[in-house]
Amino acid sequence: MSLLDAAAAVRLNAYAPYSGFKVGAALRSVEGREHSGCNVENIAYPEGTCAEAGAIAAMVAAGDSRIAEVAVIADSPAPVPPCGGCRQKLAEFADGDVVVTLATTDGATLRMTVAELLPGAFNADHMDRV
């Protein structure tokens, strides 16, 4: 199963009773394992948590620490980029040249790097004086 197939499969498990907008994400760690996540909404936080954040949490919980590749899929007219918070999380766990494949359920794709998604990302180097 490809990473995009894994993202499409987990997307079906998304809990989106308020927006109806289901998103799935899958990533491959540098250790070679696949981790996936989907968005989860709730009444107190109807915009919910993001699929990418869920996949990263699953990766960390499994003991992996770095991302090698990411795929994100949603039922939308154009590929949907990660939100700002997820872009920062991706930058925390992936090098700038890591490829993120954004896709629609209709088959459209857009490939970008983490650095293209978040130019000027905040990182630990910014805290060298602390």
Q: Please tell me whether 67 is known to bind a ligand.
A: no
Q: How far is CA 103 from the centre of its chain?
A: 12
Q: Please tell me whether 61 is known to bind a ligand.
A: no
Q: Please tell me whether 123 is known to bind a ligand.
A: no
Q: Please tell me whether 15 is known to bind a ligand.
A: no
Q: Please tell me whether 38 is known to bind a ligand.
A: no
Task: Give the active site residue among 31, 34, 47, 52.
Answer: 52
Catalytic residue check, 34: no
Q: Please tell me whether 50 is known to bind a ligand.
A: yes
Long-range CB pairs of 124-127, under 8 A, 24+ apart, other chains included = none
Name which of 3, 30, 1 is nearest 102 in CA terms. 3
Instruction: Please give the Cα distance from 115 to 96 (Å, whole number).
Output: 4
Cβ-based neighbour number of residue 106 at 10 Å: 9
Catalytic residue numbers? Answer: 52
Residue numbers belonging to the annotated binding site: 39-45, 50, 83, 86
Residue numbers belonging to the annotated binding site for substrate: 39-45
Residue numbers belonging to the annotated binding site for Zn(2+): 50, 83, 86
